[in-house]
Amino acid sequence: MLHIAILTGSTRPGRVNRQVADWVYLQLSNRQDATFEIVDIADYQLPLLDETVPAAFGEYAHEHTKRWAARIDTFDAFIFISPEYNHSTSAALKNALDYLSHEWSDKAAGLVGYGGSGGVRALEHLRPVLSHLKMADVSAQVLFSLFTDFENFSIFKPDARHIEELDIMTDQVISWGKALQTIRTSRNIAVS
């Protein structure tokens, strides 16, 4: 069974990101085809990238990086919860991605965005980053509008239609995640 992280994409004080992540987890927690866990990047307190060796070499010097790498390596796939800040994803999420390389490779990714335009521009900026990290981002996505899915822009109250959207996206993540799991298994056998 796949183990999928619901990864928060904001560390901002007063963020609504965790509300969205909690809702996603609640909707998916009864599924029998995968296990889900929230990973809050705020808990890792990653400073602005401070590793001297590029992540592709996997030679991490700092304990916070080693802890982050060990955590991310345990997952088969991800659902990223991204805010839209200035027509892009958050610096905190980009920074968290930049810390690692191999730990993201050959894993599936689903995208959930929120913002004035549903976070669509943030997700479009996130896709090439994930591609470079050798992740397979699925085409279905979930977009929440600050105007219609939040009360006073701060209390998450999503429209019921998003449940079906989330299920479709998650089905794709699980399908791709299973396929990519075989690639990772083959790669690990070849290395042994």
Is residue 111 within 8 A of residue 140, CB to CB? The reply is no
- Give me the pLDDT at residue 190, please: 67
The gap from C-alpha 89 to its chain's centroid, in whole angstroms, comes to 11
| Arithmetic mean of pLDDT over the chain | 96
Measured distance CA(162)–CA(104) in Å, rounded: 27
- pLDDT, position 192: 60
Whose structure tokens read 């042994």?
A: 192
Measure the CA–CA gap between 34 and 28, rounded to whole angstroms: 9
Mean local confidence (pLDDT), 153-157:
95
Q: What is the pLDDT of residues 3-18, one digit of tens each?
A: 999 999 999 999 999 9
What residue ranges define each of the domains in the chain, with the CATH number in brackets? 2-191 (3.40.50.360)
Q: What is the pLDDT of residue 186?
A: 79
pLDDT tens for each residue of 75-114: 999 999 999 999 999 999 999 999 999 999 999 999 999 9
Q: Is the pLDDT of residue 191 over 80?
A: no
Count of beta carbons in the 10 Å neighbourhood of residue 35:
14
Residue 94 in tokens: 């980009």
* 184 against 80, higher pLDDT: 80
Q: How far is 143 from 166, CA to CA, in rounded Å?
A: 10
**Residue-wise pLDDT tens digits, 36-55:** 999 999 999 999 999 999 99
Give the percent of the chain with pLDDT over 70: 97
